[in-house]
Amino acid sequence: MEKTREELLQIDFKPPAKSWMDPHIDFEARRGSWSYPGAPKNLRYMGYPNPREWSPTDADWKLPANWKQIIFEGMRELLSKYRSFKVFMDICVRCGACADKCHFYLGSGDPKNMPVLRAELLRSVYRKDFTTAGKILGSLAGGRELTLEVVKEWFYYFYQCTECRRCSVFCPYGIDTAEITMMARELLNLVGVNINWAVEPIANCHRTGNHLGIQPHTFKDNIEFLMDELEEVTGVRVEPSINRKGAEILFVVPSADYFADPGIYTFMGYLLLFHQLGLDYTLSAYASEGGNFGLFTSADTIKKLNYKIYHEAKRLGVKWIIGGECGHMWRVLHQYMDTMNGPADFLEVPKSPFTGTVFANAASTKTVHICEFTADLIRHGKLKLDPSRNDHWRVTFHDSCNPARALGLFEEPRYIIKNVCNAFFEMPENTIREQTFCCAGGAGLGNDENMEARLRGGYPRANAVQYVRDRFGVNLMSCICAIDRATLTTMVEYWAPEVKISGVHELVANALVVDGEKERTTDLRGQPLAGKEDKAHV
């Protein structure tokens, strides 16, 4: 990233002179705000159309000769499959309530990042070819010809939307830009226009079971390594089982949790908690990913990748499933899994073996969010907690988009944090809960080549972080999303470097008093605890 913070913040909200109907984009000048195209090997592996080498800066994107027909037919099909698509195409009144709700708009000032215009990019083509008024009146009725330039514009702007759904909170008709972006990406995918940061994880996930392409032996090695680290901090050896038949619970996490800092501390946190409880659970090296980049490509891909969760639960003969801290994974587990790959009639309604609580809200999917599970344990006094072991952190909580706006999981993580930390501070109310701002790296956009867009789009979140940092001395932002843990880390390094990112269960494990543990002098990261600086050998 070459631009300074000051340069990035020279945001001009004045719309340009040229009409938005002009689709032209200079991809060369906008480097840093788009993602590299899907590599042909990944498209081939997934059987996606039109695998080839190409770049957005090329004049010729090498689309199939009948690309226009493919897109129109695709559109017709999607309109017949999704009422949401039809209704959202027809009823927008362009009241503008959504305009300044998008983090990408707020960070860039680019008018086509206003949700209303992002939708119009697709809506204008719909009008021109699918409505009577548009067919007759053309541009006067807001219709626009589908041209190659329009396809390029779609690529740019529908891969500059993180499907966070913040705008849909404010829309008087609930028009959901995530839904529109998903439709546009389905259409683009039909002609082979997609991004590698989405299709590579998909291809990996299909083959190995997880986005990162981690194979079974490495899966086990990584976890053992993390258990070594955990033992060093706590003095307790945790021995999780993998692919064990007959366990009561299948535990599914996002793969970043057992792969990369700082997610690994969250992973250590989950497993330390389960160890202390004596929970009868197993991990799976096959269902080794709860995340699902299909959500960012096509509905069929969501189903294909999600298939392994219930398939594995059935094979192992578990009774129910716990899902770790991950954002879009939870949108899929909550809003798509049961419909696509259910019914999970071979599982039982989840019941906590320690509190007896029946998770009636998961009666059909049989899948419980780990924050629901842990909050229930704390409420019933099943955990011995020493929150002072988090006293070196002054904590705020970032509501991840999907758990916020697809589930409404607001209080569970807060309840946990307030029980395991002494210093908790909320960010301003327009930036949390259902109004939370995205990390700007979700939906496949969290790659390095897209860094300028990420930093700009991340500014509304970062700005709220700066506020609590300056006002309350906050130095840790906790969250329940693996993409957040990866992308917010980069984002705060740039905007608010004093602040670190963590998962919620990392904080749980710091505070959790475990049988047979040694005196803790550091947290899971190996940082000295408050008041134990002299005892810790870091």
Partner 1 sequence: MSFIWSLVIFSGLVALVLLGVEGAKLEGLFGIWLPYAAVGIFVGGLIARVVNWGRSPVPFRIPTTCGQQKSLPFIRHARLDNPATGLGAAARVALEVLTFRSLFRNTKAQLTQDRRLVYGSEKYLWAGALAFHWAFLVILVRHYRFFAEPVPVVIGWIQGLDGFFEVGLPVIYATDVVILAALGYLLGRRLADARLRYFSMAADYFPLFLLLGVAGSGVLLRYVWKTDITRVKELAVGLASFRPVLPEGLGAMFYVHLFLVCALLAYFPFSKLTHMAGVFLSPTRNLANSNRARRHINPWNPPIVGHTYAEWEEEFRDKIKAAGIPLDRE
Shortest Cβ distance from residue 105 to partner 1 (Å)? Answer: 9
The residue among 189 and 367 lying less far from partner 1, judged by its C-beta, is: 367
Rounded-to-integer distance, Cα 48 and Cα 138, Å:
33
Rounded-to-integer distance, Cα 423 and Cα 472, Å:
9
Q: Which of residues 477-536 bind partner 1 (CB under 8 A)?
A: none
Q: Which residues contact 374 (CB under 8 A, 6 or more apart)?
A: 273, 383, 412, 416, 505, 508
Rounded-to-integer distance, Cα 385 and Cα 389, Å:
9
DSSP 538: -
Interface with partner 1, residue 221, by CB under 8 A: yes
DSSP 329: H
For partner 1, which residue of 83, 239, 381, 537 counts as binding (CB under 8 A)? Answer: 83
Shortest Cβ distance from residue 430 to partner 1 (Å)? Answer: 4
For partner 1, which residue of 30, 315, 351, 382 counts as binding (CB under 8 A)? Answer: 315
Interface with partner 1, residue 326, by CB under 8 A: no
Q: Which of residues 275-304 bind partner 1 (CB under 8 A)?
A: 285-286, 299-300, 303-304
The residue among 69 and 361 lying less far from partner 1, judged by its C-beta, is: 361
Distance of CA 211 to the CA centre of its chain: 13
Shortest Cβ distance from residue 518 to partner 1 (Å)? Answer: 28
Shortest Cβ distance from residue 362 to partner 1 (Å)? Answer: 4
For partner 1, which residue of 404, 427, 477, 483 counts as binding (CB under 8 A)? Answer: 404
Question: Is residue 536 helix, strand or coil?
Answer: coil
Interface with partner 1, residue 174, by CB under 8 A: yes
For partner 1, which residue of 189, 196, 367, 400 counts as binding (CB under 8 A)? Answer: 367
In 288-433, where does DSSP find H-type helix?
Answer: 299-316, 327-331, 337-341, 370-379, 401-402, 411-420
Binding segment for partner 1 (CB under 8 A), chosen from 55-63, 155-163, 208-216, 505-513, is 208-216
Tell me, what amino acid is at 133?
A: A
Asked if omega into 64 is within 30° of 0 (cis), the reply is no
The residue among 92 and 499 lying less far from partner 1, judged by its C-beta, is: 92
String marking each residue 91-110 x if it binds partner 1 according to CB under 8 A:
xxxxxxx-xxx----x----
For partner 1, which residue of 216, 317, 353, 387 counts as binding (CB under 8 A)? Answer: 216
String marking each residue 407-436 x if it binds partner 1 according to CB under 8 A:
xxxxxx--x------------x-xx--xx-
The residue among 216 and 387 lying less far from partner 1, judged by its C-beta, is: 216
The residue among 64 and 213 lying less far from partner 1, judged by its C-beta, is: 213
Binding segment for partner 1 (CB under 8 A), chosen from 74-82, 273-281, 390-398, 521-529, is 74-82
Q: How many CA atoms lie within 13 A of 104 on its CB side?
A: 33
Binding segment for partner 1 (CB under 8 A), chosen from 36-44, 239-247, 252-260, 527-535, is 239-247
User: Which helix (H) or strand (E) is 90 found in, with range?
Assistant: helix 83-90
Interface with partner 1, residue 206, by CB under 8 A: yes
| Cβ count near 293 (within 10 Å) | 24
The residue among 357 and 422 lying less far from partner 1, judged by its C-beta, is: 357
Shortest Cβ distance from residue 275 to partner 1 (Å)? Answer: 20
Q: Which of residues 176-195 bind partner 1 (CB under 8 A)?
A: 176, 179
Shortest Cβ distance from residue 262 to partner 1 (Å)? Answer: 26
Classify 378 in phi/psi space as left (phi over 0), alpha (psi -120 to 50) or beta: alpha
Shortest Cβ distance from residue 250 to partner 1 (Å)? Answer: 12
Interface with partner 1, residue 172, by CB under 8 A: yes
| Cβ count near 209 (within 10 Å) | 22
Interface with partner 1, residue 229, by CB under 8 A: no
Interface with partner 1, residue 354, by CB under 8 A: no
User: What counts of helices (H) and strands (E) characterise the chain?
Assistant: 23, 7
Q: Which of residues 124-143 bind partner 1 (CB under 8 A)?
A: 131-133, 140-142
User: Which helix (H) or strand (E) is 281 found in, with range?
Assistant: strand 281-282
Question: Is residue 34 helix, strand or coil?
Answer: coil
Question: Is residue 533 helix, strand or coil?
Answer: coil
The answer to whether 425 touches 466, Cβ cutoff 8 Å, is no
Q: Which residues contact 248 (CB under 8 A, 6 or more apart)?
A: 279, 280, 281, 318, 319, 320, 353
Q: 516: exposed, middle or buried (C-beta count within 10 Å: 0-12, 13-18, 19+)?
A: exposed
For partner 1, which residue of 58, 173, 448, 493 counts as binding (CB under 8 A)? Answer: 173
Interface with partner 1, residue 460, by CB under 8 A: yes
Rounded-to-integer distance, Cα 44 and Cα 37, Å:
14
The answer to whether 35 touches 447, Cβ cutoff 8 Å, is yes
* Size, binding site for partner 1 by CB under 8 A: 119
For partner 1, which residue of 22, 58, 73, 90 counts as binding (CB under 8 A)? Answer: 90
Question: Is residue 413 helix, strand or coil?
Answer: helix
Shortest Cβ distance from residue 137 to partner 1 (Å)? Answer: 8
Which of these, 344, 290, 523, lies nearest to 532 by C-alpha position? 523
The residue among 141 and 423 lying less far from partner 1, judged by its C-beta, is: 141
Asked if omega into 343 is within 30° of 0 (cis), the reply is yes
For partner 1, which residue of 27, 36, 82, 354 counts as binding (CB under 8 A)? Answer: 82
